Amino acid sequence: MYEETVGWDRREEYEILDPTDPETIPKFVDPLPIPKIARPMRPYDSSKSRELFYKITMREAKHRFHKYFPLTTIFGYNGTYPGPTIEVPKDVAIKVKWENQLPKKHILPIDHTLHGTMDTPDVRTVIHLHGANVDADSDGHPEAWFSRDNEFVGQKYEREIYEYTNHQAGATLWYHDHALGITRLNVYSGLAGFYLIRDFLEERLNLPKNEYEIPIMIQDKTFNKDGSLFYPDNTTPPIDNPIPSTPAAFFGNTVVVNGKLWPYLEVEPRKYRFRILNASNLRSYTLGLSNGEVLHQIGTDQGLLHQPQDIRSFILEPAERIDLIVDFSKYIGQEIILQNTAQTPPSPGMEVIMKFIVGKEVKYPDTSTIPNELMPFHPIDPALAVKERTMILDETKDHYGRTLHLLNNRMWSDPATEKVKLDTIEIWHLVNNFNFPHPIHIHLVNFEILG
Q: How far apart are CA 158 and CA 177, in angstroms?
A: 16
Q: How far apart are CA 387 and CA 6, in angstroms?
A: 58
Q: How far apart are CA 307 and CA 158, in angstroms?
A: 41
Torsions phi, psi for 225 (to 5 deg)? -60, -35
Quote the DSSP letter at residue 355. Answer: E
pLDDT on residue 444? 85
For 427, the enclosing helix (H) or strand (E) is strand 426-432
E strands, 246-320, in order:
254-257, 260-261, 264-267, 271-278, 285-289, 295-300, 303-311, 313-316
Domains defined for the chain, CATH in brackets = 26-201 (2.60.40.420), 210-358 (2.60.40.420), 378-450 (2.60.40.420)
Other beta carbons within 10 Å of 440: 13
Residue 230 Cα distances to 102, 185, 197, angstroms: 19, 10, 34
Q: How far apart are CA 187 and CA 256, in angstroms?
A: 13
Is residue 6 over pLDDT 50?
A: no
| DSSP character string of 146-205 | B-GGGSSB-TT---SEEEE---S--EEEEEEE--TTTHHHHHHHT-EEEEEEE-HHHHTT
Is there a contact between 174 and 192 (Cβ–Cβ < 8 Å)?
yes
Q: Between these two residues, 202 and 82, which has the higher pLDDT value?
A: 82
Is residue 228 over pLDDT 90?
A: yes
- If you compute the radius of gyration of the chain from its CA atoms, what whole number of angstroms results? 22
Residue 239 binned pLDDT confidence (cut-offs 50, 70, 90): low
What does the pLDDT look like over 263-273, one tens digit per residue? 999 999 999 99
Cβ-based neighbours of 130, under 8 Å, separated by 6 or more: 173, 174, 175, 176, 319, 441
When mean pLDDT is compared across 4-8, 183-187, 221-225, 361-365, the lowest value belongs to: 4-8
pLDDT on residue 47? 57
Which of 295, 114, 112, 298 has its CA nearest to residue 199? 298
Mean pLDDT of 94-120: 95
Task: Provide the whole-model pTM.
Answer: 0.93
Other beta carbons within 10 Å of 337: 19
pLDDT on residue 227? 96
Residue 406 Cα distances to 10, 221, 274, angstroms: 50, 27, 36
Phi-psi category of residue 240: left, alpha or beta, with phi > 0 → left and psi -120 to 50 → alpha: alpha
